[in-house]
Amino acid sequence: MCGIAGFWNARAEDASEHLKTLAKAMGQAIHYRGPDSDDQWVDRDAGIALAHRRLAIVDLSAAGAQPMLSSCGRYVIVYNGEVYNAEDLRQDLGRDAASFRGHSDTEVILEAFSAWGVEATVKKLIGMFAFALWDRQDRRLCLGRDRLGIKPLYWSLQGKILLFGSEVKALHTHPACPKELDRNALASFLRYNYIPGPYSVYQNVQKLQPGHMVSITLQGDGSLAAQQTAYWSMSEIARQGLDQQADFSDEEAISALEEILGDAVERRMIADVPLGALLSGGIDSSAVAALMQAKSTRPIRTFSIGFHEEGYNEAHHAAAIAKHLKTDHTELYVTPEEAQAVIPQIPTYYDEPFSDSSQIPTYLVSKMAREHVTVVLSGDGGDELFGGYNRYFTAAKYGRTLFSQPKALRQLESAAFRALSPNAWTKLSGVLPKKYRPPYFGDKLYKLADVLEKSKEDFYARLVSAWDQPNDVIIGGREYSGPLWDQSLKSHIPDYIDRMMYLDTITYMPDDILTKVDRASMAVSLEARVPLLDHRVVEFAWRLPQSLKIREGQGKWILRQMLYRHVPKNLIERPKMGFGVPIDAWLRGPLRDWAEDLLSPQSLQHFGLLKPELIQKTWRDHLSGHRNWQYHLWHILMLQAWCRQWH
């Protein structure tokens, strides 16, 4: 795992040392992604400079250092990630092991690029990666990103200058980086809590999309031109999977999943440094830990984090599973003060606005794990692939009933739910037994009221939105349309729940979940590997009938059945709990002064992005307890905090 950066200045006449100095500064901006070493490579005549920060994982020797030159001398690469079938590819290349300088995966894929070509090689890779490959012969720069978007890559092309890097701050260091905010992207941020790809916080800086490559070449007029192509398409995988559903019995399907996921886990256990697993106690992380332990000859290391606040703590569940699996388990209980101390660091590591509040515990568990290991496996991806989010089985259970009602009746029901304030409904729910009493009952009823007023096609959009009308909040911006509003999806993916899972996989997963994990783990120089997002597992999941994912109102059916082979059912079965922190109470308590400062009319007017009157009203409603606006406000606070540091 590493950090990469660089530029191509086709009009440059700078000395090599100047090019190298600029590239080194870009790499230094993301030094925590690769604290073990750094180096740069420049081609003065072309105006190319490549920078690399190394976190040594496989082949710790100098033979694995980057930037790396191919044995033929034609190609130079900087690369971030891990390719888990490198040894298979080494054999396929048909070269004697002695002809390789070392045993790094970087060298293998570089030699494969040289032997087979870039696109043919990328299609063979099993892993997570982002790379920049300079072809010295054809004077072509190729940027590539893995299929699911596990590793990030930003790029910006302006006439004769191209910039790229693992994070925005690497580009930001270069004097040619655009600095004009994209207000349309910020409007989208207020809906989702992340900036959706391919956009970024800056105009003319974009994320390379998952499964894509872009080839940059020099034109006759001296400008640079980019051609972007997809080498793997989630859309095609979904369509093919739905058209060619596997004919499995239940037991056959469970065994097939265990085999393919087991291989994905085993491949991700290859490292020349200490390795462990993040264990929350949920289905996904428990499945990964169970398969790791089954394939290990000694206790694996597992790590979990706990909170003293009831309703936010799964550490005791994780401890029980670790005890059953006989792992070497470490847990850390975090005080509110320790969790809140992370907040000022968020704009540094999430260097464009990002407001999934689980970024806090993700950072804390990563920091704790890094004290013991350099690599962890995590369970991210299971919800999107196997129907784990509440919205899926809520839609399966209630969707047809809700939307089969006449619109007038739904509007009456919506009005009835709004007859009392959310706070009053929550107090009334106190008469219910605790296990039937959902948290924030009143807010959930109001969200249901919103859903009832809309069409079935708006159901998903409402569920994934914070600010439902972000254009009314941002000054001078209009949100981008994106896949959420793509009406053609209905013909390609007819079933509504399948469509929800697909949309989550191409939007929420890369731009929220994987961004969160990448930045939190890399902030402490920890490599996080995600076996459930092995592309072979993804393709397998889309060939499964929905009945193997959601059954009897419960998600991840097949993943649960596989896990029961390793862990007793009573340790697993419990209501789903998000990996979060009590933002609502913190904003009314210990974070109130911090929030008041960022949400003051003076602060809002200073940056000129948000409409102060609406934000102030939302803040007053939250403080009074009339509404729980924690997520809406967290979006605003993270945007304001980001502006204070970067704008």
Catalytic residues: 2
- Using an 8 Å Cβ cutoff, are 449 and 414 in contact? yes
For the chain, state the CA radius of gyration: 25
Question: For residue 138, with 0-12 CB atoms within 10 Å meaning exposed, 13-18 middle and 19 or more buried, which class applies?
Answer: exposed
Q: Which residues partner with 41 through β-bridges?
A: 50
CA distance 622 to 604: 18
Nearest Cα neighbor of 66 from 25, 30, 18, 34 is 34
- Using an 8 Å Cβ cutoff, are 305 and 368 in contact? yes
CA distance 226 to 532: 32
List alpha helices for 268-355, DSSP H. Answer: 283-294, 315-325, 336-340, 346-349
CA distance 441 to 424: 9
CA distance 270 to 108: 15
CA distance 48 to 477: 35
Residues in the chain: 647
Give the chain's end-to-end CA distance (angstroms, integer): 29
Degrees, nearest 5: CA angle 546-548-550: 65
What is the phi-psi region of residue 219: left when phi exceeds 0, alpha when psi lies from -120 to 50, beta otherwise?
A: beta
The tokens describing 409, both together, are 């009746």
DSSP state of 41: E
The tokens describing 537, both together, are 């597992």
Exposure b/e, 518-530, CB count within 10 A at least 16 = b? bbbbbbbbbbbbb
